[in-house]
Structure 1
């Protein structure tokens, strides 16, 4: 059975909870999906990439930051039916820390993001991108229980 070019297919995104103190790095999106919402750095998984490779590559491309201690956290399965172009994303959530704590995020893709900043996990900005909002409201915590950086 041949697929029509117009048939939407699920895509895989990889996003990173970059942890610093009790804060996470968020950017305000400039995008067809979730425009003007706050979201984690990340992007599409490329053919042959591991989740960790994708997370590190996307972080570097978007913020200029190098990350370490990258680990898998969870996955979501989200439909965006209200958007201009309906889409379906399987999103892999990772967590990591800065390879060098003195690095400062840069906005290297201003056409996709208004800018990056650190936000306290207990005082997140609004509006958050849908899946992140659901996670935060559910009580999800990206910080490990033994976390004390």
Structure 2
């Protein structure tokens, strides 16, 4: 399905674990994916490298200083109701200071940050509650990569 001649944008997400293997995730407030859970991230800017982008976006949104270590997945995400199309890059990241906790620095974009187990995220992707809880790119990543296990992945 064409999107009126518009080109897809590139979104980038950080998958950050804590010392217990839980993943940082927040409930979105922006119009795209409002009310759904998503990872810290944003849009790739012209000329920007993936890792530089995700480190910058995560710092802006959470105050966390991270180091991106690996691209772990890509999704093709279509939002026909909003006439938007994204290619989303997911990166594995580590906190530079394991004791630093995320802050809610963009209150107009995120309700707050939480740590959830990968199993909780997988349950949300499978819509075990009966409704869509995850932001579409995150849901697509989990559903398209059932072998992905972030709790045991090394950085």
Task: Tell me the TM-score range normalised by the shorter chain.
Answer: 0.7 to 0.9
After superposition, the CA RMSD in angstroms is 2.1
The match for 1:143 among 131, 139, 150 is 150
Q: TM-score, normalization: structure 2?
A: 0.82
Q: Which moved more, 1:132-141 or 1:57-66?
A: 132-141
Q: TM-score, normalization: structure 1?
A: 0.85
- The corresponding residue for 1:3 is none
Structure 2 residue runs of 5 or longer lacking an equivalent are 125-132
The 8 Å contact of residues 17 and 142 in structure 1, kept in 2 or not, is answered as no
Task: Give the structure with the larger strand fraction.
Answer: 1
Distance in structure 2 (CA, Å) of the matches to 1:13 and 1:146:
22
Distance 1:144 1:73, change over 3 A: farther
Task: Give the structure with the larger helix fraction.
Answer: 2
Number of residue pairs matched by the alignment = 141
Distance in structure 2 (CA, Å) of the matches to 1:146 and 1:137:
17
Partner of 2:72: helix, strand, or coil?
A: strand
- The corresponding residue for 1:73 is 72
Partner of 2:76: helix, strand, or coil?
A: strand
**Per-residue CA shift, 1:45-85, capped at 9, x if unaligned?**
01111000000000000000011252111111111012xx2
Structure 1 residue runs of 5 or longer lacking an equivalent are 1-5
1:52 aligns with 2:51: yes
Shift of 1:7: 4.0
Shift of 1:31: 1.4
Shift of 1:146: 5.7
- The corresponding residue for 1:11 is 9
Distance in structure 2 (CA, Å) of the matches to 1:146 and 1:114:
28
Distance 1:113 1:145, change over 3 A: closer
The match for 2:134 among 123, 128, 131 is 128
Partner of 1:48: helix, strand, or coil?
A: coil
Partner of 2:17: helix, strand, or coil?
A: strand
